[in-house]
Structure 1
Amino acid sequence: MNIPKIIKFLKTKAGIAIAVIVLGGGAAAYFFASSNGVKQELLKAERRDVTQIVAVTGTVKAASIINLEFLAAGRVAYRPRQVGDHVSRGETLLALDAREIDIQIAKAKATLDGNKAKLDQLKAGATPETVRQLENAVTASYLNALAALDTAITKSDKSLSTLRADIFLQNNKIRSDFQLALDTFTAGAENEMAKADADVAKARAMREGVRGIVVDQPKYDAIFSETPFLLGSVRNVLVTSSELLRRVVSAYVTQSTINAYSTDISTVRSEHDTAIKTFADAIAGIQAAKDVLRVKQEPPRAVDIAVLEAGVKTAEADLALLEKQKGDTILVSPVDGVVTNLGYEISEVARPNTTAVSLISISGVEIEANVPEVDVAKVAVGNPVSITLDAIPGETFTGKVTHIDPAETVVDGVTNYKIKISFDAKDPRIKSGVTANLDIETLRKPNTLTLPQFGIVERDEGKFVRKLVNGEVKEFPITAGIRSSDGYVEILSGVSEGDEVLNAGLKTN
């Protein structure tokens, strides 16, 4: 290819025209591909208030008597109202003695605070002051081991001196007035005595080599690794000497004297064993102190954090359960109404699942509705309700759940549970028989991390979100909580605030 000729040609009018056609064709192809490609919409994880709604349809009916009952037995401690009194919604009508539960709640709060403090402390790591204290503890453990070594050497010297006085003469020879059953045993004892003398002398020299020196861990470690074995040879000769005295027969030494020698050796052997064990424990204490320092200096392990987080969650659950039990000791009026019956006096024992208070709503009407079994566990007495009526379009009324039937009602083969809702305010336009559309607010979580529902992929194996990672779409598992009526889903794990995920349900060109 003649490059100069091509360049010269492109400078001509014909060459320029061809170049424009080629480049124009490339631009058209790019924009075509771009305009026909699918653009993914990104959704951001943000915090908002999440409300869980159970939507059902009911019918307005004439108000009936509302019966309230305790879930557990207890002694009545508070009874502020009498039959015939007008009461307001939220007013306490009866309360049981809850002092024992209050004590348990206080303990549960203390446990929760303690678990949170441990978790915070673990995440924060050791303070400089704590590290200094632990380093000092390591130094102290070395000095403690050194003192134990001094004692072990002293007890070894005492043991050898006792052996010389009772059994051995100079140069570690067995007394001539002992006649032994086995000459080879005598030779073994004398060899062990000589070795013990040499080993104790070596241990003493090693100890003296660091006397007056500031703790030098490598030097001390070398001493502490060898001296236990050196001083252990003393025990060997003590054991052998005890056996020697058991075998000895002498015409010159009485049995009572031999027994006294045995007692002497037994005494120094016990003292020596104690000193050696104390020395070994002190050496182990050095490693223990180092381990504590190392753990404090290292960043917390994920498994340790998980254990403490589980402890916090358990304590929170225990506290929530106790607070619910405390709430169950109080009967609160779910409506503005009139008390028609009070079943207990002060100090009487209330029975569970038995009517304790009866009242009737002053609104004169209430709503009956059927809640499917899949939703009934979400609904509780006292839940706020948003109400619209077909007979009064364009207006929204408010009310409260006042009753949930404990037994099921089967409608067209479907299991439901009947509930009752009272209106918050009386309105003469509301008539019996009117159809009511109900949005029951069963749970509200403020400032909760959420994603739009169409940002979540649901499959049999779980819930996922899709993210762009280096230009590639990847799926990540998440844990979701409640789903609000406006299409947002609570995110418990797998996504952080500000993360962007792909719109899995909608795509825009």
Structure 2
Amino acid sequence: MFNFIKTKKKYFLYGTGIVILIAGGIFIFRNGKKVNDTIVVSHTDFVNKVSVSGNVVAAQEVNLSFQNSGVVKRVFFKIGQGVAGGPVVKTGTMIAEIDTKDADKDIHDAEVALESAKLSLKKLQLTNSNKNLVADLEKAYDDAFNFMSNAFVDFSDIITGLDDVLNENNLSDSSARTYGSIARSYRDKAEELYYQTEKSYKNSQADFRLLSRDSSHALIETAINATYKTAKMFADAIKSARNFVDYMAEDSNNSSEFTSSKNTIAEYTDTMNDHLSALSFAKDDVNNYKEAFFDTDLNIKDLELTIKQKENNLQDAKNKLSDYRIRAPFDGVVTKIDAKVGEIAPANEPLVTMMNAGTFQIESYVPEVNIALINIGDEANVTLDAYGKNVLFYARVVSIDPAETIRDGVSTYKIKLQFSENDNRIKSGMTANVSILIFSKPNVIVVPGGVVFEKGGKKYIQIKKDKKIINKEVTLGDASPLGQVEVVSGLADGDTVILNPLVSS
């Protein structure tokens, strides 16, 4: 297919419709520096292009279709009719439209989802501002101080009351001896726990007297834990005393004699349960508000990423509107319209034919591996061999054949690009070098895809810092066919990335 003619030591490549894949993408990484299998990253431009070559051809008819099926809602032109009474339909003008109800709903839903995410972020920022978090934490410490104060008031009454119960005539040591060894065992246990609780109470009371609301958070937390421990000892001592009283009442012939003691101990049990609940709540409340500072930062970052995702979803939904409309890809004349209002238009079936109004096109063939990146309307920079690489022309993709074309055993798809302006320098048959812009992102961090590895369901990049190798968790964005990938979060300017990461199994 390629023929070479040697004339005066020059070689010429000629052939009709020859297309050469220059590259699957272009990675612009102006500030990356390779140093001993590492690169130092910084924000730069990330541009992805598909580069092909083709031939300039005379303007031809282009068949246009809807990308989705649906009921034709409006047809704006007739054959030979253009804008302002003339025959020419301008670039981008809508020629026909099918019912966009489903697409409109998708856009509305995406807008609602985005607004909801933004409101959630605003609410989180307002309710969990640093000022509010500090105030909530201070209140938690103040509440804890109040709970401890209330507990010590009752501790004093209960320690005295337990002593009185154990020294009543019918519950005294001599009475227990009368009822036998089991009664003595119950009383000895109750008395043992009483003295242990009394000792703990006196120690924690002495520490609490030195405490004030203005004491450090660390001292208040220590006091909360100590008070909670003392309250548990009180609960155990009360339970042991109740076991002793219950045994004596059951073993005696006069259980009513122990009613007053039972009532007293039941009251102490309820009181101590209330204090245990309050002190446990105070401990948890303080810990929760301390953790809220860290959790809030994570939640804000998570919502910010959610908002970005919702913005992308909304843009995708808006972009899909083009699937419901046929627009003029260039200035031209409508030569055929098969779309009729009220009829169902099949997807990808040509319904409108346009002829170019005097400009030239570029015909090229794109390999299967790259065709999915290209869409109708994509812009392109063009150079013509006749004028050199410094003379730029501009074009856009106007058609993509749905059926493949086998060329030299390779699956390709024919595309056509329309020059944006008439230019007398453009001649049919000229060789064109085309760079089709897929996306362009300014001021982002980009790395080779090979430096990214996955561990535990998360993506990481290894960096070198202070002679140490650190695994940094990252969030990735767009990628180019050449293997470069955008790092949305996780890396910063100046990070030294290891090109061949060592990942343990």
TM-score by length of 1: 0.61
Q: How does 1:363-442 map to 2 (within 5 A)?
A: 363=358, 367-384=362-379, 399-422=395-418, 424=420, 434=429, 436-442=431-437
> Residue 258 and residue 480 in structure 1: after superposition, are their counterparts in 2 closer, same or farther (change >3 A)?
closer
> Residue 152 and residue 82 in structure 1: after superposition, are their counterparts in 2 closer, same or farther (change >3 A)?
farther
What is the CA distance between 1:60 and its match in structure 2? 2.5
Give the match's secondary structure for 1:334: coil
**Greater C-alpha Rg:** 1
Q: How does 1:260-409 map to 2 (within 5 A)?
A: 265-266=265-266, 268-292=268-292, 314-315=309-310, 317-336=312-331, 337-338=333-334, 340-345=336-341, 351-355=346-350, 357-363=352-358, 367-384=362-379, 399-409=395-405
For structure 1, the residue ranges without an aligned partner over 5 or more in a row are 1-44, 463-478, 500-509
Give the match's secondary structure for 1:328: helix
2:228 and 2:43 mapped to 1: Cα distance? Answer: 65
> Residue 349 and residue 191 in structure 1: after superposition, are their counterparts in 2 closer, same or farther (change >3 A)?
farther
Answer whether contact 1:139 1:215 (CA < 8 A) is retained.
Answer: no
Structure 2 residue 64 is the aligned partner of structure 1 residue 67: yes
Amino acid at match of 2:55: G
Amino acid at match of 1:279: L
2:381 and 2:273 mapped to 1: Cα distance? Answer: 83
Structure 2 residue 109 is the aligned partner of structure 1 residue 104: yes
Q: How does 1:96-245 map to 2 (within 5 A)?
A: 96-97=100-101, 98-107=103-112, 109-110=114-115, 130=130, 134-156=133-155, 159=158, 168-169=167-168, 173=172, 176=175, 179=179, 181-210=182-211, 214-217=214-217, 219-245=219-245
1:392 and 1:251 mapped to 2: Cα distance? Answer: 119
Q: How many residues align?
A: 411
Give the match's secondary structure for 1:242: helix
The corresponding residue for 2:9 is none
2:187 and 2:123 mapped to 1: Cα distance? Answer: 63
What is the CA distance between 1:338 and its match in structure 2? 0.9
1:78 and 1:315 mapped to 2: Cα distance? Answer: 31
What is the CA distance between 1:173 and its match in structure 2? 3.1
What is the CA distance between 1:176 and its match in structure 2? 3.7
The corresponding residue for 1:92 is 94
1:218 and 1:425 mapped to 2: Cα distance? Answer: 75
What is the CA distance between 1:148 and its match in structure 2? 0.9
> Residue 115 and residue 330 in structure 1: after superposition, are their counterparts in 2 closer, same or farther (change >3 A)?
farther
The corresponding residue for 1:56 is 53
1:71-119 residue CA offsets vs partner (Å, 9 max, x unmatched) = 4x55666544445532221112325233322223424544786799899
2:303 and 2:152 mapped to 1: Cα distance? Answer: 46
1:393 and 1:147 mapped to 2: Cα distance? Answer: 84
Amino acid at match of 2:372: A
1:241-286 residue CA offsets vs partner (Å, 9 max, x unmatched) = 33224433344523x6768865764454244123113213313433
The corresponding residue for 1:16 is none
Give the match's secondary structure for 2:215: coil
The corresponding residue for 1:476 is none
1:495 and 1:233 mapped to 2: Cα distance? Answer: 54
Answer whether contact 2:114 2:307 (CA < 8 A) is retained.
Answer: no
1:423-453 residue CA offsets vs partner (Å, 9 max, x unmatched) = 556799999x8455352533463766899xx
Amino acid at match of 1:106: E
> Residue 161 and residue 339 in structure 1: after superposition, are their counterparts in 2 closer, same or farther (change >3 A)?
farther
2:450 and 2:269 mapped to 1: Cα distance? Answer: 72
Answer whether contact 2:165 2:171 (CA < 8 A) is retained.
Answer: no
Answer whether contact 2:61 2:353 (CA < 8 A) is retained.
Answer: no
> Residue 253 and residue 328 in structure 1: after superposition, are their counterparts in 2 closer, same or farther (change >3 A)?
farther
> Residue 117 and residue 216 in structure 1: after superposition, are their counterparts in 2 closer, same or farther (change >3 A)?
closer
> Residue 436 and residue 46 in structure 1: after superposition, are their counterparts in 2 closer, same or farther (change >3 A)?
same
> Residue 84 and residue 176 in structure 1: after superposition, are their counterparts in 2 closer, same or farther (change >3 A)?
farther
Answer whether contact 1:66 1:360 (CA < 8 A) is retained.
Answer: no
What is the CA distance between 1:146 and its match in structure 2? 1.5
For structure 2, the residue ranges without an aligned partner over 5 or more in a row are 1-41, 83-88, 453-476, 497-505
Amino acid at match of 1:100: K
What is the CA distance between 1:417 and its match in structure 2? 0.8
> Residue 443 and residue 162 in structure 1: after superposition, are their counterparts in 2 closer, same or farther (change >3 A)?
same
Answer whether contact 2:397 2:416 (CA < 8 A) is retained.
Answer: yes
Answer whether contact 2:380 2:434 (CA < 8 A) is retained.
Answer: yes
Give the match's secondary structure for 2:179: coil
Give the match's secondary structure for 2:341: coil
Could you tell me the percent identity over the aligned residues?
Answer: 18
Give the root-mean-square deviation of aligned CA atoms: 5.3
1:369 and 1:331 mapped to 2: Cα distance? Answer: 23
2:64 and 2:434 mapped to 1: Cα distance? Answer: 24
